[in-house]
């Protein structure tokens, strides 16, 4: 059987832990309702589970990924410090999985020896930023969770450039949205217990049906309709040298969770065809941006280059075209002289050269020169539209 | 009389025209975007030359210019970043607004420009503020989830300037924590591609009971309006109050900048805005396109009442008619943006703070020919109005 290399999973019970341990699981994430977006365990329950995992000689990762305003941060950090003190008294092998600001907080306010796994899944898709974090956390940093929006090329580049262990989401739900506001409970008065409401959402923006939405004490979370799965590129990821692969099947009940984990293993073992796995898996699965990420290409919407005013020749803008009588111009820079040669540039890029034979001001007086701020009326020229620019020909 | 301290008024400027409007209508500072690196890719934005002109225009009128660099930058972007930063330094922008620690490092390396932390970085508590200060940030733009009282605490404990939103549309997610459009439309919301999926209608059902469906705009936020809490902003010493909206219209920028500038001017003299004054200013806020208003988390965490359960459509009671190009004893020359008629009633939003009503008694073209109705993209000569000035905004009630 192929074990997933340094497989990282979240566990919420002893059974789950024993199952994944036997499957070669390498590190075990503990999610509490106090600190984790998707955490359900109380600190006492987590404490018990951590001790159980430690007694089996395994490493425990406490996840803290909720964002907190001043008061909730003060409360949670006080509670956490107390808990951490207790845990450190026992010989627990412990690491913290946090986002950047908490990492800095932990570094400053707690045991500087506690290892930090830095969660950079949201944003931070550039090397200067990641390197800065690595530099800041130094020896205390034990791994970085990279964004699930990175393409294969980027993963290769980051592997080459970053000298720290790297983790990515290998299979699981894609988080899309995190709001501190409670968005589901106002819709339904028959709420479930424990501050935990789960719904499926269907957007009018077809064809997006079945977004898993969860509201809990930390706010509202939405996941993508499709789950991420890089199972079929497992060997590529191994070649790239990604150190840790995270499998997140925690939205399933225990039995289902184990079943699908084993199915993934069978795919890796070539005992089950990936297409078959894909067909049978309860949610549609995608590779996300693994092959290529072009999500920003469309949005480098630059100004129409024909209407840019960076050129030294720019004098002003056409503000009215009165066919066949005149062209009204607002002078924005420099001056416009009678007899001078100018050219109009249309939004479509058409250049129209003219010699200024007459300039009228708004009182219909003939003038020889117009300066910045003036509104002037020039002889009509066809093919022009408002928004064309007026430029000096040198 | 000694004037009371009031926060800086920071207005949006999506392009050079809007920058001038914001400055003319009373902003103490404006925030603008270059053609790259700033989240609002769909805004008009500034070329470097326009930025230079904008900075000069603002500085001669004692207004500061902050440039947003708050996109989550990809590695390729850094190739052009150094040049961009050096140019910003050369033209003397007052600060850059940054969300990424890597960008902070580059700004420090290539310039001596002051650095503000963007709201995209979701700075929500004093610990975060302290960290960012250590990194060289002089001001944090706090997350919209932060209350005024907490902002004051962050300012004090973090020993750092704080900027807090006071008005405008709201992202319902923690800033930087929504990537819906990345996966549904292939547009990166953290790079300006947000498709506003939170404004869509959703039908929601329990997984086990799909027939129990509720159709709702469950994740659409009302717009923030903190005008009625302005005394609290002042008393808590919030350094800067920010109006959202680089994508918004000229009318929007002019109206809100003027409303808040007037309110702050009043609060420099009086302890409170007073009921009549407040009501007048609030009614001005109603004249621009907006969703229903909320104070969101300014006092306590935003609750169900902050949700805008309606289809998104910015209904507005007034519309922009145009702007005055010339004003003299003979005529008002207006650049027309939307049609109006002879006999109609217009409002001139004057830069001196007065809203002047203007009856259109005479409406002519350049050749002094009478016209019944104007058309967008044309110039109209109207009967004169005392007090109206060049660059004043003209609006009319939507019928
Ligand atoms: S979809 Fe809505 S919540 Fe998401 S980034 Fe856009 S405005 Fe914000």
Q: How far is the CA of B66 from the centre of ligand 1 (A)?
A: 23
* CATH class of the B8-176+220-306 domain in this structure: alpha beta
CA dist., res. B13 & res. B247, Å (int): 8
Alpha-carbon distance B276 to nearest alpha carbon in chain A (angstroms): 33
Whether A69 sits inside 8 A of B145 (CB atoms) is yes
What is the number of CB-based contacts under 8 A between chain A and chain B? 249
Whether B303 sits inside 8 A of A182 (CB atoms) is yes
Note the pLDDT of residue A27.
87
Q: How far is the CA of B170 from the centre of ligand 1 (A)?
A: 8
Contact with chain A for residue B5, Cβ under 8 A: no
| Residue ranges covered by each domain of chain B | 8-176+220-306, 318-397
- Are A90 and A175 within one domain? yes
Whether B178 sits inside 8 A of A180 (CB atoms) is no
Binding site membership of B173 for ligand 1 (Cβ less than 6 Å)? yes
- Are A201 and A133 within one domain? yes
Could you tell me which residues come within 8 angstroms of residue A184 by beta carbon, excluding any fewer than 6 positions away?
A: A197, A199, A213, A215, A220, B204, B218
Note the pLDDT of residue A4.
65
Q: A residues 272-301 near B, CB within 8 Å?
A: 288, 294-296, 298-301
Could you tell me which residues come within 8 angstroms of residue A144 by beta carbon, excluding any fewer than 6 positions away?
A: A117, A118, A120, A130, A133, A134, A162, A164, A165, A166, A167
The conformation of residue B239, written as its DSSP 8-state character, comes to: S
Note the pLDDT of residue B225.
98
Whether A69 sits inside 8 A of B125 (CB atoms) is yes
- Are A43 and A114 within one domain? yes
- Are A67 and A142 within one domain? yes
Whether B150 sits inside 8 A of A69 (CB atoms) is yes
Q: What pLDDT digit, counting tens, does each position of B241-277 carry?
A: 999 999 899 999 999 999 999 999 999 999 999 999 9
Number of independent structural domains in chain A: 2
Which residue is closest to A387 within chain B, CA to CA?
B377
- H or E element: which one contains B325? strand B318-327
Note the pLDDT of residue B44.
65
- Are A258 and A371 within one domain? no
If DSSP codes are grouped into helix, strand and coil, which group holds residue B179? coil
Last residue of a domain, one of A249, A269, A298: A298
Q: What pLDDT digit, counting tens, does each position of B17-27 carry?
A: 999 999 999 99
Q: DSSP letters along B342-368, please?
A: TT-EEEEE-TTS-EEEEE---EE-TT-
Note the pLDDT of residue A33.
94
Last residue of a domain, one of A275, A298, A321: A298
The predicted complex's ipTM stands at 0.92
CA dist., res. B6 & res. A379, Å (int): 52
Q: How far is the CA of B194 from the centre of ligand 1 (A)?
A: 6
Last residue of a domain, one of A264, A298, A332: A298
- What CATH number corresponds to the domain at position A316? 2.40.30.10
Residue-averaged pLDDT of chain B: 93
- What CATH number corresponds to the domain at position A141? 3.20.20
Could you tell me which residues come within 8 angstroms of residue A75 by beta carbon, excluding any fewer than 6 positions away?
A: none
Note the pLDDT of residue B39.
55
- Are A310 and A183 within one domain? no
Note the pLDDT of residue A109.
66
Q: What pLDDT digit, counting tens, does each position of B317-353 carry?
A: 899 999 999 999 999 999 999 999 999 999 999 999 9
Note the pLDDT of residue B165.
98
* pLDDT band, very low/low/confident/very high, at B41 (cuts 50, 70, 90): low
Is the predicted pLDDT of residue B284 greater than 70, yes or no? yes
Q: With contact defined as beta carbons under 8 Å apart, do B352 and B387 qualify?
A: yes
Domain that holds residue A340: 306-392
Q: What pLDDT digit, counting tens, does each position of B216-243 carry?
A: 999 999 999 999 999 999 999 999 999 9
Contact with chain B for residue A161, Cβ under 8 A: no
Closest to B178 (Cβ–Cβ): which among A177, A187, A311?
A: A177
CA distances from B343 to A16, A384, B358, B378 (A): 78, 32, 10, 18
Q: pTM of the predicted model, to two decimals?
A: 0.93
Note the pLDDT of residue B314.
63
Binding site membership of B13 for ligand 1 (Cβ less than 6 Å)? no
Alpha-carbon distance B257 to nearest alpha carbon in chain A (angstroms): 23
- Are A172 and A265 within one domain? yes
Phi/psi at A7 (5° precision): -70, 130
Judging contacts by C-beta atoms under 8 Å, the chain A residues touching residue B144 are none
- Are A175 and A282 within one domain? yes
Alpha-carbon distance B184 to nearest alpha carbon in chain A (angstroms): 7
SS (H, E, C) chain A: CCCCCCEEEECCCHHHHHHHHHCCCCEEEECECCCCCCCCECHHHHHHHHHHHHHCCCEEEEEECCCCCHHHHHHHHHHHHHHHHHHHHCCCCEEEEECHHHHHHHHHHCCCCCEEEEECCCCCCCHHHHHHHHHHHHHHEEEEECCCCCCHHHHHHHHHHCCCCEEEEEEECCEEEEECCCCCHHHCCCCCCCCCEEEEEEECCCCCEEEEEEEECCEEEEECCCEEECHHHHHHHHHHCCCEEEEECCCCCHHHHHHHHHHHHHHHCCCCCHHHHHHHCCCCEECCCCCCCCCCHHHCCCCCHHHCCCCCCEEEEEEEEECCCEEEEEECCCEEECCCEEEEECCCCCEEEEECCCCEECCCCECCEEECCCEEEEECCCCCCCCCEEEECC
- Are A199 and A177 within one domain? yes
Q: Which among B104, B117, B131 is the top mutation candidate for probing chain A, defined by the most A β-carbons within 10 Å of its own β-carbon?
A: B131
- Are A54 and A15 within one domain? yes
Q: Which among A77, A78, A125 is the top mutation candidate for probing chain B, defined by the most B β-carbons within 10 Å of its own β-carbon?
A: A125
pLDDT in tens, chain A (394 residues): 555 678 999 999 999 999 999 998 888 999 999 999 999 999 999 999 999 999 999 989 999 999 999 888 888 888 888 888 888 777 668 899 998 777 777 766 666 678 899 999 986 678 999 998 898 888 889 999 999 999 999 999 999 999 999 999 999 999 999 999 999 999 876 665 568 999 999 988 767 788 999 999 999 999 999 999 999 999 999 999 999 999 999 999 999 999 999 999 999 988 889 999 999 999 999 999 998 887 766 455 545 666 666 678 899 999 999 999 999 999 998 899 999 999 999 988 999 999 999 999 999 999 999 999 999 999 999 989 888 999 998 7
Reply yes or no on domain B318-397 having CATH 1.20.1250.20. no
Which residue is closest to A294 within chain B, CA to CA?
B186
């Amino acid at each position: 059987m192929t074990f997933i290399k340094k497989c990282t999973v979240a566990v919420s019970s002893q059974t789950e832990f024993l199952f994944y341990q036997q499957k070669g699981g390498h590190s075990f994430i503990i999610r509490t309702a106090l600190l984790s977006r998707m955490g359900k365990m109380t600190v006492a329950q987590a404490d018990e589970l951590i001790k159980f995992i430690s007694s089996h000689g395994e490493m425990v990762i406490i996840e803290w990924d909720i964002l907190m305003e001043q008061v909730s941060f003060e409360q949670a950090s006080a509670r956490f410090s107390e808990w951490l003190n207790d845990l450190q008294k026992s010989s627990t092998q412990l690491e913290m999985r946090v986002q950047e600001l908490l990492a800095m907080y932990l570094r400053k306010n707690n045991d500087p020896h506690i290892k930090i796994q830095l969660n950079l899944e949201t944003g931070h898709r550039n090397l200067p930023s990641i390197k800065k974090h690595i530099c800041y956390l130094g020896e205390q940093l034990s791994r970085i969770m990279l964004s699930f929006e990175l393409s294969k090329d980027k993963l290769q580049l980051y592997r080459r450039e970053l000298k720290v262990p790297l983790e990515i989401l290998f299979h699981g739900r894609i988080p899309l949205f995190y709001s501190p506001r409670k968005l589901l409970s106002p819709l339904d008065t028959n709420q479930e217990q424990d501050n935990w409401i789960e719904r499926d959402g269907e957007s009018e923006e077809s064809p997006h049906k079945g977004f898993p939405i969860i509201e809990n004490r930390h706010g509202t979370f939405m996941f993508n309709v499709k789950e991420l799965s890089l199972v079929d590129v497992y060997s590529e990821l191994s070649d790239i040298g990604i150190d840790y692969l995270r499998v997140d099947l925690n939205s399933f009940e225990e039995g289902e969770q184990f079943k699908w984990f084993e199915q993934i293993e069978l795919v890796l073992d070539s005992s089950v065809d990936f297409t078959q796995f894909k067909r049978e898996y309860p949610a549609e699965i995608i590779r996300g941006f693994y092959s290529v990420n072009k999500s920003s290409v469309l949005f480098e919407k630059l100004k129409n280059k024909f209407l840019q005013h960076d050129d030294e020749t720019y004098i002003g803008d056409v503000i009215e075209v009165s066919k066949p009588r005149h062209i009204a111009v607002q002078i924005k820079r420099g001056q416009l002289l009678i007899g001078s040669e100018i050219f109009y540039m249309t939004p479509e890029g058409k250049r129209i050269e003219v010699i200024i034979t007459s300039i009228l001001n708004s009182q219909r007086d003939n003038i020889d020169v117009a300066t910045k701020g003036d509104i002037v009326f020039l002889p009509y020229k066809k093919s022009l539209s408002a928004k064309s620019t007026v430029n000096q020909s040198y | 009389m000694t004037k009371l301290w009031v926060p800086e008024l920071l207005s949006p400027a999506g392009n050079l025209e809007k920058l001038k409007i914001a400055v003319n209508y009373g902003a103490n500072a404006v925030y603008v975007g270059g053609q790259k690196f700033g989240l609002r890719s769909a805004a008009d934005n500034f070329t470097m030359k326009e930025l230079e002109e904008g900075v000069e225009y603002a500085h001669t009128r004692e207004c500061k210019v902050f440039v947003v660099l708050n996109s989550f930058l990809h590695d390729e972007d850094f190739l052009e970043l150094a040049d961009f930063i050096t140019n910003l330094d050369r033209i003397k922008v007052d600060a850059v607004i940054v969300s990424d620690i890597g960008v902070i490092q580059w700004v420090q390396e290539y310039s001596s420009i002051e650095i503000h932390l963007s709201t995209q970085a979701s700075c929500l508590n004093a610990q975060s503020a302290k960290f960012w200060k250590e990194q060289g940030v002089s001001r944090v733009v706090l997350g919209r989830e932060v209350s005024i009282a907490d902002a004051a605490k962050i300012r004090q404990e973090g020993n750092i300037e704080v900027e807090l939103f006071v008005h405008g549309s709201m992202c319902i997610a923690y800033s930087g924590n929504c990537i819906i459009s990345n996966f549904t439309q292939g547009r990166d919301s953290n790079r300006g591609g947000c498709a506003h999926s939170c404004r869509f209608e959703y039908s929601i059902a329990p997984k086990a009971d799909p027939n129990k469906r509720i159709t709702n705009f469950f994740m659409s936020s009302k717009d923030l309006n903190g005008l009625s809490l302005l005394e609290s902003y002042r008393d808590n010493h919030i350094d800067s109050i920010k109006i959202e909206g680089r994508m918004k219209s000229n009318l929007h920028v002019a109206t809100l900048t003027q409303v808040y500038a007037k309110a702050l001017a009043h609060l420099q003299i009086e302890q409170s805005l007073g009921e009549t004054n407040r009501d007048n200013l609030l009614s001005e806020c109603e004249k621009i396109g907006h969703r229903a208003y909320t104070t969101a988390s300014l006092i306590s965490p935003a609750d169900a009442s902050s949700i805008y359960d309606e289809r998104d459509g910015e209904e507005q009671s007034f519309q922009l008619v145009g702007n005055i190009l010339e004003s003299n004893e003979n005529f008002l020359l207006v650049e027309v943006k939307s049609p109006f008629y002879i006999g109609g009633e217009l409002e001139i939003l004057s830069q001196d703070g007065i809203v002047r009503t203007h009856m259109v008694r005479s409406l002519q073209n350049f050749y002094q020919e009478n016209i019944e109705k104007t058309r967008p993209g044309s110039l109209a000569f109207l009967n004169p109005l005392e007090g109206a000035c060049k660059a004043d905004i003209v609006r009319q009630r939507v019928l």
